[in-house]
Structure 1
Amino acid sequence: MTHPEGYDLVVLGSGAPGKLLAWALASSGKRAAVVERRYIGGSCPNIACLPSKNVIHSAKAADTFRHGGAFGIADRGWKVDMTAVRDRKRKMVDGLVELHLEKYRASGAELVMGEGRFVAPKTIEVELNEGGSRTLRGEVVVIDTGSRARLDDTLGLAESKPLTHVEALDLDEIPGHLIVLGGGYVGLELAQAFRRFGSRVTVVERNKALIHREDPDVTEEIERLLRDEGVEVLTGTALHRVEGTSGRSVRLETSRGSIEGTHLLVAGGRTPNTDGIGLEKAGVETNEHGHVKVDDHLRTTAEGVWAAGDCAGSPHFTHIGEDDFRVLLANLTGGDRVTTGRQVPYCLFTDPELARVGLSEREARERGVQYRLAKIPMNAVLRARTLSETRGFFKALVEKNGDRILGFTAFGPDAGEVLAVVQVAMLAGLPYTALRDAVLTHPTMAEGLAGLFSSVPSR
């Protein structure tokens, strides 16, 4: 081991919490370094959140062309060029990477590109991508290594070289028949997108429903949406064996028989990137799932070492990673902030979107929380009628003997944007009547909230 270089902060991994912390502390005069092996800025701007939404928007454009006749537009003489779809995505990613590099330059934080691993407490050795090595020691070290798509040990699965979201978002061809393993957020977003590009698509989900932790009315609407668009949905289907090679020909043996396709996409969960980084040499413990053990302040079992984001078991969303940054910054600068009790908003970027915050009906029942339910169909929202997008609904849970909003779910156009309105009201502790009686702009999607909260049953 070479003589360690001293830093106030060393971050292993460049995802949201770590990079934001490095930029903040470096801007205040601290010496900060971020070690990243490949993706500058982490997975979100490179291979996950933002690239997927870019590709999904291209798929929506294709769907609009396909149904152009309904809007008075001739719908003949067009085709999907996946190379152009990919290049549009790559151009966006290049711009985001440059934006990150400018943040490093402006803040003074150092970006060290290479493979990092602990070799001693608070000490990281980096095998540099350009050759050679460096050893960095931080007064404070933050583990921010993220997660990756999980491959289980199903016979033949790994050998079939399946796509993950990383490879799927970089395809330059339209799969003839894409089989998607997993009916969660990633699987459903990409299933719809590739169906709209022109692929035959089959979704295989081992549970009895898609996104099975959501309320039944949500899962039923999502499944109906996919089936209406021509996606084959097989729920309650166990996978036994995989034969062939993705990109050529694959055959799946399942509890419901054989399924043959050209491409296989695995979207069955995430695995933390905590293996092979020398945590044992730093005194950092992991749990049975491989996540770094942290307390509600994001401290690990090693003095002076913290962890944040996916690798620490935080909900796997960039917006939660950004809140982990706020927790870290507060606790490292004399404050006292915890991860418990915070709101976790969810958004599934199918078209239309699904968005939820607070309690679902299922969660309320499981916790014994009594509530009043308000629900309106999307065709009651006049803006949805102007868009000819009336599939879906708004629903809200309000406490039984009070006016506090307990939860909100939207399935419809711009659901994620409408969600933010209700979430802010919940954060502010406003009664549901504040939204019921607000003067909301007409015609907008948010205007539907007045109708929704007007339908709350009386106490």
Structure 2
Amino acid sequence: MSSTKAPDHYDLLVIGSGEAGKFLPWMLSAKHGKKTAVIERGRIGGSCPNVACLPSKNVIHSAAIAHEVRRASAFGVSLSGIDPASLKSDMPVIKARKDAMVKDVNGFQGFFDMFGVEIIRGEGTFVGPNEIQVGGGRALTADHILICTGSRARVDARIPGLLEARPMTHIELLDLDVLPAHLIIIGGGYVGVEFAQAYARLGSHVTLVQRGDQLIPREDEDVVQALSGILAKEGVRIITSADVQSASGTNGEEVTVSIRSSPGGEEEVLRGSHILMATGRIPNTADLNLDAAGIKTTAAGHIVVDEQLRASTSVFAAGDCAGSPHFTHMGFDDFRVPSVLFTDPELARVGLTEKEARAKGVPYRLAKLPMASFLRTRTLGPGASEGFAKALIEADGERILGFTALGPGAGELLPVISLAMKLNAGYRQLADLIIAHPTMNEGLVELFLLHVPDGTS
């Protein structure tokens, strides 16, 4: 034992209070009378409500308002005596609004108390297969342990000068109360793309550098091309197939980033005021002493789990630390995988992309519909009808294999598709729906009624 006092024993111990660490102890304690506890070294509720998903959407919404005000005349709204081009973003006010939202929604401690789940503050480390020590003192044992410690933004220390330049992650960016004059974003995934558009709309010059040959590499090329065109029209400079060679200067003052087109291309020096690193995330597993519990990790640090998320006989892992895609809801249910990129227009997907289907050798039929045929978009002003929706239908049946939409509020289309996929409802059942007019979901009826090619059977 790790101390002379017998360890406190629980039915379930959870390390981390984020999305994966909330619902299971809540349900087991409230509905089944189990003794549960959650160990948390940081903020209750994890990253999403405190420093990630919700705070970033506040800033994105402020940017959307700025964008609409600048083009108010296109909607027949006159700003008397005001030149929309002179619009300024009040970053202290934007930050204060974000901070107020975080304070308002962060009542998770009350939920843990209400459901009878003990919160134990401190850092938990394994000292045995079923035993955890908190803060080097209190010893705890449990029948089952769930690890959901999440992840953190990656900053590549191998790039010469980068650490000395003190680049920002999304956390520091969201805490800025000044507008970057020129924001250089390294990484063209979800985080990089969302912030690129938002800060361009707020008034920053934005350069987005992506190592691969397209932004958002998991998505299909036609989707990314359409979105990249929209970003470029809003002033975002996009550089793909480029490696960062070095960085210098001081973030917030003056920075330079040297990039080289790959493979073997010319070098270019980017000069800006701020650097945002958006090159992926690192699992928070290094401090858990997993060897003491016989738990293995991948080379990247993710916990190795089976199909039931089991890491050992009595230990499970869920969410980012187990290698799931880094969306909050993935920690709640790792096997239903919708995702939304909160650009304008939104990019929403559930299930297979075309390139995933081809890679897996899955035959499919493609139904595709321009966003202009979603009649609601015609009411929303310039650019709202850009984009499209597409669905992958099994070649010899009616099941929906995947769905992607690029359009206004596209994420709100996903629940209908996700439910159909969950229930194994065929696309014809969606084509038979009566949906209120004119809503975005109405376009799904046309997509599935008129645009699914004949099957092979």
Residue 207 in 1 paired to residue 212 in 2? yes
2:91 corresponding residue in structure 1: 82
1:246 corresponding residue in structure 2: 251
2:20 corresponding residue in structure 1: 17
- Retained in 1: the 8 A contact 2:88–2:203? no
1:372 corresponding residue in structure 2: 365
2:264 corresponding residue in structure 1: none
CA distance in 1 between partners of 2:48 and 2:194 (Å) = 15
CA distance in 2 between partners of 1:249 and 1:224 (Å) = 29
CA distance in 2 between partners of 1:371 and 1:281 (Å) = 47
TM superposition shift of 1:133: 4.2
* Unaligned ranges ≥5, structure 1: 325-341
TM superposition shift of 1:30: 2.0
Residue 305 in 1 paired to residue 305 in 2? no
CA distance in 2 between partners of 1:297 and 1:277 (Å) = 21
CA distance in 2 between partners of 1:215 and 1:314 (Å) = 20
CA distance in 2 between partners of 1:146 and 1:246 (Å) = 27
Q: AA paired with 1:279?
A: L
CA distance in 1 between partners of 2:26 and 2:271 (Å) = 49
Q: 1:425 to 1:121 in 2, by over 3 A?
A: closer
1:281 corresponding residue in structure 2: 292
1:387 corresponding residue in structure 2: 380
CA distance in 2 between partners of 1:237 and 1:410 (Å) = 28
- How well do the aligned residues superpose, as a CA RMSD in angstroms? 1.6
* Cα deviation digits, residues 168-207 of structure 1 (max 9, x gap): 1111110000000000001000111111111100000011
Task: Give the SS at the match of 1:91.
Answer: helix
Larger mean CA deviation between 249-258 and 399-408 belongs to: 399-408
Aligned residue among 73, 83, 108 for 2:116: 108
1:339 corresponding residue in structure 2: none
CA distance in 1 between partners of 2:10 and 2:397 (Å) = 52
Residue 402 in 1 paired to residue 411 in 2? no
Larger mean CA deviation between 427-436 and 287-296 belongs to: 427-436
Task: Give the SS at the match of 1:323.
Answer: coil
CA distance in 1 between partners of 2:177 and 2:248 (Å) = 24
CA distance in 2 between partners of 1:134 and 1:367 (Å) = 49
Task: Give the SS at the match of 1:94.
Answer: helix
1:69 corresponding residue in structure 2: 73
TM superposition shift of 1:393: 0.5
Q: AA paired with 1:56?
A: I
TM superposition shift of 1:145: 0.6
Larger mean CA deviation between 193-202 and 82-91 belongs to: 82-91
Q: AA paired with 1:72?
A: G
Q: How does 1:113-124 map to 2 (within 5 A)?
A: 113-124=121-132
Aligned residue among 248, 273, 280 for 1:262: 273
Q: 1:399 to 1:29 in 2, by over 3 A?
A: closer
* Unaligned ranges ≥5, structure 2: 261-266
Q: AA paired with 1:283?
A: G
TM superposition shift of 1:239: 0.7
Aligned residue among 416, 423, 426 for 2:421: 426
* Cα deviation digits, residues 13-40 of structure 1 (max 9, x gap): 1111222122222223222211111121
CA distance in 2 between partners of 1:310 and 1:215 (Å) = 23
Residue 218 in 1 paired to residue 223 in 2? yes
Q: AA paired with 2:419?
A: V
CA distance in 2 between partners of 1:399 and 1:84 (Å) = 50
Task: Give the SS at the match of 2:155.
Answer: coil
- Retained in 1: the 8 A contact 2:330–2:336? no
CA distance in 2 between partners of 1:31 and 1:401 (Å) = 49
CA distance in 1 between partners of 2:57 and 2:342 (Å) = 7
1:457 corresponding residue in structure 2: 453
TM normalised by structure 1 equals 0.91
Aligned residue among 30, 33, 44 for 1:29: 33
CA distance in 2 between partners of 1:321 and 1:441 (Å) = 33
Aligned residue among 322, 326, 332 for 1:322: 332
CA distance in 1 between partners of 2:288 and 2:164 (Å) = 25
Task: Give the SS at the match of 1:238.
Answer: strand
Q: AA paired with 1:244?
A: G
Larger mean CA deviation between 151-160 and 113-122 belongs to: 113-122
Q: AA paired with 2:340?
A: C
Larger mean CA deviation between 181-190 and 157-166 belongs to: 157-166
Task: Give the SS at the match of 2:101.
Answer: helix
CA distance in 2 between partners of 1:296 and 1:413 (Å) = 36
CA distance in 2 between partners of 1:150 and 1:162 (Å) = 11
Residue 182 in 1 paired to residue 187 in 2? yes
Residue 96 in 1 paired to residue 96 in 2? no
1:350 corresponding residue in structure 2: 343
1:336 corresponding residue in structure 2: none
TM superposition shift of 1:7: 2.1
**What count of residue pairs does the alignment treat as equivalent?**
436
1:332 corresponding residue in structure 2: none
Q: AA paired with 1:319?
A: H
* Cα deviation digits, residues 43-71 of structure 1 (max 9, x gap): 11111112111221111111111211112
Q: Which runs of 4+ in 1 moved over 6 A?
A: none
Residue 55 in 1 paired to residue 67 in 2? no
CA distance in 2 between partners of 1:226 and 1:160 (Å) = 27
CA distance in 1 between partners of 2:316 and 2:403 (Å) = 33
CA distance in 2 between partners of 1:358 and 1:306 (Å) = 25
TM superposition shift of 1:315: 2.4
* Cα deviation digits, residues 263-300 of structure 1 (max 9, x gap): 00000011100012211222222122211111111211
Residue 46 in 1 paired to residue 50 in 2? yes
1:170 corresponding residue in structure 2: 175
Task: Give the SS at the match of 2:242.
Answer: coil
TM normalised by structure 2 equals 0.92
Residue 192 in 1 paired to residue 197 in 2? yes
CA distance in 1 between partners of 2:295 and 2:395 (Å) = 45
CA distance in 1 between partners of 2:111 and 2:336 (Å) = 28
CA distance in 2 between partners of 1:272 and 1:417 (Å) = 30
CA distance in 1 between partners of 2:365 and 2:316 (Å) = 41
1:337 corresponding residue in structure 2: none
